[in-house]
Structure 1
């Protein structure tokens, strides 16, 4: 699904050049689950942004299903983000004045889905994350774990091939962390998603079949025998 070849990402900070990623090679197969760990500033979130087409590499290629994201126009990258990739972030970024179903529906508006179909698909997505009885609840009426599940439903309602998660349990306590991870892992298995997640949590990392560690812009991938 993904083939990254000699991918580098450099930023300028004043007179200093920061090598967020330094000529990395990485293959992520269809249906794979990969957890990415490493120190703050090591390049984890940069990698996720490149995989999702939110940023472009300074050098190298990022091939997704035969298409090099680095060479796409901004309009075509926007289409990839809208149709192929679902994003889940540490902050769930729900609109406080919209209820759970309406928040999920926002992912379908750019696709031109009709209102009735949006409502049906949003309700179905919320049901799949265990919130079928909370469709009309506002974010302020939901717990942190429930709000993150709404955000997950928003990410998967467009039926993406790829799910990218950046510290999705970072704002949750241990019980809610396990609850959200169970939802994510179930969706990964049931939908055959390619799932890449950044986390600082070693307990979560131990659950994944593959672990990538990024330090100083370099990457090392290992198989997780315990998963």
Structure 2
């Protein structure tokens, strides 16, 4: 379960003070599928960074499963991101010179597993997203939807408790968008993950259990 209590994030930019998050208080139960919508610059990506232990609030605290992460040491946060939280991004972030399987394997490097175990886990993750037959292909040999499936496999291979997705369908056409959302929804149901998706797309957000809306750093529930 995520708990955010009175979280604010303030930046200084060109001599101006920008409040990316403004006194956000939020609970996200374990196993919930949540969509976060909002205008550009409204704070949704900043909120996701807080949930992913990628940034720290200026005020307030963030906790995961009762343990505060907003004030944790860098080493602890690295372990958390390396094992318990999986990330999926709009731009896929695949390494172009590596095969699909090798890209997935990169997520396991911090765990220092034997090479054969790392390869087996990566292949199994690719099979779980329907790409076992594309394991040897490089990103340039895959469609956009297939590249995002590789990125999802890379996030899942760590066997995380939480999957954070930042505009995961933003670069995809409508049909492929729906396929990726079908995949995420199926994995959520199958694995009992907490899935949090930042999206501008109402068609994606409507499929979530819970919809949140953020504007000018302030969060509200959306029915």
Structure 1 and Structure 2 fold alike (TM over 0.5):
yes
Q: Which residue of 2 aligns with 1:23?
A: 23
Per the alignment, residue 72 of structure 1 pairs with: 72
Stretches of structure 1 that go unaligned for 5 or more consecutive residues are none
Q: Report how many aligned residue pairs link the two structures.
A: 223
Q: Is 1:120 matched up with 2:120?
A: yes
Other-structure match for 2:14: 14
Residue in structure 2 matched with residue 164 of structure 1 by the alignment: 164
Matched, 1:209 2:209: yes
Distance 1:88 1:219 in 2: 22
Query: Which whole-Å deviations, capped at 9, do the CAs of 1:121-155 have from their partners, x for residues lacking one?
Result: 00100000000111111111100000000000000
Structure 1 residue 76: Cα displacement: 0.6
Between the aligned partners of 2:28 and 2:84, the Cα distance in structure 1 is: 15
Residue correspondence of structure 1 range 68-147 to structure 2 within 5 A: 68-147=68-147
Deviation at 1:15? 1.7
Give the TM-score of the pair, scaled to structure 2.
0.99
- 2:113 and 2:26 mapped to 1: Cα distance? 35
SS in structure 2 at match of 1:106? helix
The 5 Å alignment of 1:188-227 reads 188-222=188-222, 224=223
RMSD of aligned alpha carbons: 0.7
Deviations 1:41-65 (A, max 9, x none): 0000000000000000001010101
TM-fit CA distance, 1:3: 0.7
Aligned residue for 2:9, secondary structure, equals strand
Unaligned runs of 5+ in 2: none
Greater than 6 Å deviation, 4+ residue runs: none
TM-score, L = length of structure 1: 0.97
Report the 3-state secondary structure (helix = DSSP H, G, I; strand = E; otherwise coil) of the residue aligned with 1:12. Answer: strand
**Residue in 2 aligned with 1:38?**
38
Whole-angstrom distance in 2 between the partners of 1:58 and 1:114:
40
SS at match of 1:149: helix
Structure 1 position 113, deviation (Å): 1.2
Structure 2 CA distance, aligned partners of 1:209 and 1:33? Answer: 5
